[in-house]
Amino acid sequence: MHLKTNQLSNMLIDLDRALTRGEAENVVEAIKRIRLICDDIELSVQDEIDYAKRRDEALRLKYKHELINEISFLMKPVTVENVYDGDYLDHFVETRARQLAEAGAEAAHNAFWTEYLTLHGNIFGSVPAELLTPEAVAYLEKSGWKRVQVSVLDFGDALEVTMAFYEYCDEKFGRYIVVQESKTNAFMVLAFGI
């Protein structure tokens, strides 16, 4: 693509030079070449768009899922770009546990996350708001937890969970947790609307 844009730039210079000198035949020739280069660029871009559409459709078919619920969660946001740098995650987990205990929400949090085996994701502290008392919700929100809507997406129990699936989730959902429900063995994605 870079080569084509360089060619286009050079042809525009040639066109400008031909216009300045009043060389009508060279103007017409430069315009024809510019059109050909632009057509070539357009075809290349359209090929990329078509490929992306075909890829999206293939992934949609491969990773069939259905939205089964929308739930309000409380989520403890991370405050750094990379949670794995240094001991940030250790401190985050300690703070999360302390805040849940102080809010009286630890049992509800642990009961929920016992039912759902976390396989992968990039959310490190969350609990459905409906499982908490109003006092616990108020305490956690005062402690910096954010209320977010979570889409619960069911991928069924036959999903082959691979790195390719995790990459798909990274691309498709942004902020999410991949879980497996202990009762049904169904794989689900909790997609956080942040």
Share of the chain above pLDDT 70, in %: 92
Among 12, 34, 62, give the residue marking a domain's end: 62
Threshold 0.85, pTM exceeds: no
Place of tokens 């042809």: 11
Number of domains in the chain: 2
Tokens of 156: 């069924």
**Structural domain containing residue 74:** 66-193
Cα–Cα distance measured from residue 45 to residue 43, given in angstroms and rounded to the nearest whole number: 5
Given a cut of 90, whether residue 54 has pLDDT beyond it is no
Neighbours of 92 (CB within 10 A): 18
Beta-bridge partner residues of 118: 179
82's CB contacts (< 8 A; 6+ apart) are none
Among residues 46, 62, 78, the one where a domain terminates is 62
pLDDT band at 55 (very low <50, low <70, confident <90, very high): low
Question: How many CB atoms lie under 10 A from the CB of residue 73?
Answer: 23
Same domain, 96 and 181: yes
- Name the residue among 24, 22, 26 with its Cα closest to residue 14: 26
Question: Band of the pLDDT at 52, cuts 50, 70, 90?
Answer: low
